[in-house]
Amino acid sequence: MKVDKRSGRLFHIPEADRPVYGEVPMVRDALFALGAFWVFAAAAPAVAASDEGPFADPKVWLQVGAFYPSVDTRVRVARNGETGSDLDLEADLDFPERRVLPSGTLGVRAGRGWHLIAEAYSLTRSRTAIIDRDLTFDGVTYPASATVSAGFASTVYRLTVNRDIASGADYALALAVGAHVTDFSVFLEGEGQVGQGQATIERRRREALAPLPTVGVHARYRPTPRLQLSARGDFLSLKVDDYDGRLLNAQASADYAVTRNFALGVMLRHVDYRLGVDKADWNGRIRYRFTGPAATAAFIF
């Protein structure tokens, strides 16, 4: 049995689904990552000081990372004309609150002061739990005490065009315009009831691909040729066709050039994403929030 700290609800978790890892506070993660970063930076060989360094204006860079956030996910799926339950996947179905998210970013210089940046990261989780309240999902009501399996997968693709509006020998400030595309799927499976029918094993799955535009700002500063500090923020809030969404993405990072073509870095990131779907045969709401540190490695050319 497990007690959720936020809601006080009691859950039974099958033995096979119990986490085998311990929870690590986000602040400790961030301090550890920053400490390791500075120890490594102090011991690493210096980049040649004969020019502005590899971060000055690279032609191409590829960054890979591991993002370790705390996650909060809310989902509602209903058939039109019906009411669906607001599911908190971490509280109602005991989804793990922390998970490593892989990410990748590709940047290309497209001209003086112009950059194209593409990014992708994904989150996939599943769980089997005994629920403690009736849950209605896509026309099926799963009663309290039923064993329900559930899964949530989301892949985010971001493409932005950055234009420097102010720059100097060691800094740049850019405006960013682009698209934030979310490909998600969610399912529930277990013994449930449709209308007044007899209870049977029912599985319901919904998926969608939602493209939404974004605007933002991006700042870069190089206190030394081999160290770059960056911050960025992106925002959207509007309706496009069957979707309406809101996104806030904020991040701050530090990258250290170990060699002319290779850099290591750390990042703190917060993502708050809400998506509404209103299609002819169903409607739904998804909200997820990620907050936590990331470790990155970049190849610079």
Q: What is the pLDDT of residue 51?
A: 54
Give how far the C-alpha of residue 41 lies from the chain's centroid of Cα atoms, to the nearest Å.
28
Position 131, amino acid: I
For the record, the structure tokens of 126 come out as: 């599943």
In the prediction, which pLDDT does 259 show?
Answer: 95
Closest CA to 93 of 160, 146, 23, 25: 146
Strand ranges, E, within 112-199 = 114-130, 135-137, 140-142, 147-167, 171-192
CA–CA dist 131, 192 (Å, integer): 12
Q: How far apart are CA 228 and CA 146, in angstroms?
A: 53
Of 185, 180, 208, which is closest to residue 124 (Cα–Cα)? 185
pLDDT in tens, the chain (301 residues): 444 444 455 444 443 333 333 333 434 444 444 444 444 444 444 443 335 788 888 999 999 999 999 999 999 999 887 889 999 999 999 999 998 999 999 999 999 899 999 999 888 999 999 999 999 999 999 999 999 999 999 999 999 999 999 999 899 999 999 998 989 999 999 999 998 888 899 999 999 888 888 999 999 999 999 999 999 999 988 888 888 889 999 999 999 999 999 999 999 999 999 999 898 888 999 998 999 999 999 999 9
User: CA torsion 289→292→293→296, rounded to 10°?
Assistant: -10
DSSP 43: H
3-state secondary structure of 38: helix
- The label of the residue with tokens 């985010």 reads 156
Alpha-carbon distance of 174 to 163, in angstroms, equals 5
Domain boundaries of the chain, sorted by first residue: 2-300
Q: How many residues does the chain have?
A: 301
- Residue 284 and residue 277 in contact, taking contact as beta carbons nearer than 8 Å: yes
Give the integer Cα–Cα distance in Å for 121 and 184.
12
CA–CA distance, 64 with 290 (Å, rounded to integer): 18
- Does residue 73 contact residue 86 with C-beta atoms inside 8 Å? no
Domain 2-300 has CATH 2.40.128: yes
pLDDT for residue 202: 95
* pLDDT of res. 25: 41
Give which of 213, 206, 212, 215 is closest to 285, Cα–Cα: 206
Alpha-carbon torsion (237, 240, 245, 248), positive or negative: negative
User: For 161-173, b where at least 16 C-beta lie within 10 A, e where not — what string?
Assistant: ebebeeeeebebe
Tokens 């701050």 correspond to 252
pTM to 2 decimal places = 0.76
One-letter amino acid of 227: L
Nearest residue to 204 via CA among 217, 218, 185, 219: 185
How many angstroms separate the most distant Cα atoms in the chain?
78
- Write a three-state SS string for 81-111: CCCCCCEEHHHHCCCCCECCEEEEEEEEEEE
β-pair partners for 285: 76, 276
